[in-house]
Structure 1
Amino acid sequence: MSNDWTAHEIPDQHGRVAIVTGANTGLGFETARMLAERGATVVMAVRNVEKGREAAARIAGDVTVQALDLASLDSIRSAAVDLRAAHPRIDLLINNAGVMYPPKQTTADGFELHFGTNHVGHFALTGLLLNQLLPVPGSRVVTVSSTGHRIRAAIHFDDLQWERSYSRMGAYGQSKLANLLFTYELQRRLAAHGTTVAVAAHPGMSNTELTRNTPAVFRLPITWLAPFFTQKPEMGALPTLRAATDPAVAGGQYYGPDDRREIRGYPKLVTSSPDSHDAEVQRRLWTVSEELTGVTFPLGQAVPELSGAGAMS
């Protein structure tokens, strides 16, 4: 008998509310689809509402669409207001959306696009929705990282927005390392509450639209080799789904594919880089993220609000 964890292992999700960012395509779509098919009430939080509705129409179950642009603190604040009103109780917040290797760009608030979307946007959204999760037994915040958190990855506190120079790979690595540092620090702060936990996952190498910004010199080889080294989005979504639904999951864990290089396969508990476990960097990034967003997490405090803080130079 196989011990591989598959979508068939997802427990019944009736009565649970799941928010999935970036759910209109790729890994996010498959995550939303499988949760809805198991009975969850799923909110697809997406930048393009029209594409979100088209995607929702392909899913059987209780699915709605929420406008959310993680590259805009105003959009995040507006979405959080809508979500709090519609869903006083949230069981799962799945921070899935992301960008990979775009040319140098900044968000509406002046953050480098990788850092602003992949980390800062999800940090703000999580803080603004946490009061809906904290009272719910078994609630989870699942943040999707990447094996890229090991590649040229560091938190450049002296130049977080890559204003002095720009490396697509370095900026992506910084943002994915930030996802893990955030997860581990959030779990530390949640531990005293005994309800919500923070977990991370990564999909290995999945054949999705996320690679559309890969530099041209690499794009053709990747296209040729993709069938041999990548897996379909429904497999790539399994680590996230396990982190979100497996009753055996504990706070602060990290799930990824089970082959030797964590590129493809069924989800298992994996380890992240030593840099991701640096508690001092975790705390420093948390403090900087609060300053950048104006969000203070409601761990013993009032519901946080965005203050409209701008980018840090």
Structure 2
Amino acid sequence: MLNPDQHKLPSGIDPHTSAQTVLGDADLSGKTAIVTGGYSGIGLETTRALASAGARVIVPARTIDKAKTALAELNGDIEIATMNLADLPSVQRFSNDVVQSGGAIDLLINNAGIMACPLSRTAAGWESQFGTNHLGHMVMTQGLLPALRKANGARVVCLSSTGHIVSDVHWDDPNFLSHDYDKWQAYGQSKTSNSLFAVGLDQRERDNGIRAFAVHPGGIMTDLQRHLGNEEMTVLGWTNPDGTLSDRAAKSFKKPEAGASTTIFAATSKLLDGKGGLYCEDSDVANLATPESPRYCDVRPYAIDTEAADRLWALSEAMIAEA
């Protein structure tokens, strides 16, 4: 089943509008947000915007010193905590610490991720992109549910991508144990999973005041591309042979501060009050894809289907239980 609200509102926001502008004069004083990967790329810009509006922002980080250096330039109430999404005990410790502190979590931004990396596996044996981008965030989010419910109106934003168009979930072998590994298929699977997780979470927690959204931030050059050489990015049409942005990329790619705008829209916009389980792009709800849809926009039906979301939820819980 597909959500009938999956279509542009329209919001009227230009796709290249900065996160700060999308936030406007919103006052987040007294609110607490968690931003995974909140010290790099669009995550850093998300932290900047939320903190500037008065929110207390918790940034879990695998590398504390790197996070401290990156966040030193920002003003506001920002805390750094230790967590590695690929390490389940680390994820569980972080969630437990947050819940035991007794406070509510109003905004959870599942932003961190890896892309198109060589085959590797987490300690649990999961393919690293599926394990980090999807399963690590799922374990963390489930652990944080008591704090999210306490907010009585929390929003969870899961960073998906147009990469979801590359692949549905590899249902019979998500960890590439019995078929050849393809880094883009693995990335696409993880981004489809991020979207389906938002759908599944919204179905399960809306009665507890939690609404969840998936977002495609847009094309942005950040540290996410660290596993790609310039030759490959040239083939993809992102760069020229000399490493500069291609004409197409220069026209369509966003700056990091605009790349965070759809996250901020999904997390704070009053236009989304009473809604959830939606995939957003360009600071608006995305249209459902048709055969005529361009390659780089609109959401494919398999990434927001409620039955697929339930199937992924069951598969993921079984994998987590066996870890």
The answer to which of 119-128 and 207-216 deviates more is: 207-216
Work out the percentage of aligned pairs sharing the same amino acid: 38
Residue-pair matches, total: 284
Are the equivalent residues in 1 in contact too, given 2:28–2:54 (CA < 8 A)? yes
Match in the other structure for 2:176: 162
Kindly report which structure 2 residues correspond to 1:211-290, keeping only aligned pairs within 5 A, or say none. Answer: 211-214=225-228, 217-220=231-234, 222-223=238-239, 224=244, 225=246, 226-249=249-272, 250-257=275-282, 267-271=283-287, 272-290=299-317
Cα distance in 2 for residues equivalent to 1:65 and 1:135: 22
Could you report, residue by residue, the CA deviation over 1:263-302 in whole angstroms, capped at 9, with x for unpaired residues?
xxxx1211321111333321111011112223xxxxxxxx
**Conserved? CA contact 2:61–2:67, under 8 Å:** yes
Q: Which residue matches 2:290?
A: none
> Once the 2 structures are TM-superposed, how far is the Cα of residue 87 of structure 1 from its aligned partner?
5.2
User: Is 2:31 aligned against 1:8?
Assistant: no
Change (3 A) 1:228 1:9: closer
Instruction: Name the aligned partner's letter for residue 42 of structure 2.
Output: L
Q: Which residue of 2 aligns with 1:204?
A: 218
> How does 1:1-313 map onto structure 2 within 5 Å?
3-4=13-14, 6=18, 7-10=20-23, 11-86=26-101, 88-151=103-166, 153-163=167-177, 164-193=179-208, 195-214=209-228, 217-220=231-234, 222-223=238-239, 224=244, 225=246, 226-249=249-272, 250-257=275-282, 267-271=283-287, 272-294=299-321, 309-310=322-323
Cα separation, 2, equivalents of 1:207 and 1:78: 32
Note the residue ranges of structure 1 that are not aligned, 5 or more in a row: 258-266, 295-308
Amino acid at match of 1:275: Y
Measured in 2, the distance between the counterparts of 1:21 and 1:286 equals 21
Q: Which runs of 4+ in 1 moved over 6 A?
A: none
Q: Is the 8 A contact 1:24 1:44 kept in 2?
A: yes
After superposition, the CA RMSD in angstroms is 1.7
Cα separation, 1, equivalents of 2:307 and 2:263: 27
In structure 2, C-alpha distance between the alignment counterparts of 1:85 and 1:62, rounded to whole Å:
20
TM score, norm. by length of structure 2: 0.84
Paired with 1:248 and 1:38, the residues of 2 have a C-alpha distance of 18
Q: Which amino acid aligns with 2:216?
A: H
1:178-235 residue CA offsets vs partner (Å, 9 max, x unmatched)? 0111111111112333x11111111110111101112553134533324343111100
1:192 partner SS: helix
Structure 2 portions without partners, runs of 5+: 1-11, 288-298
Give the secondary structure class of the aligned counterpart of 1:94.
strand
Code of the aligned partner of 1:89: A
CA apart distance, 1:154:
1.5
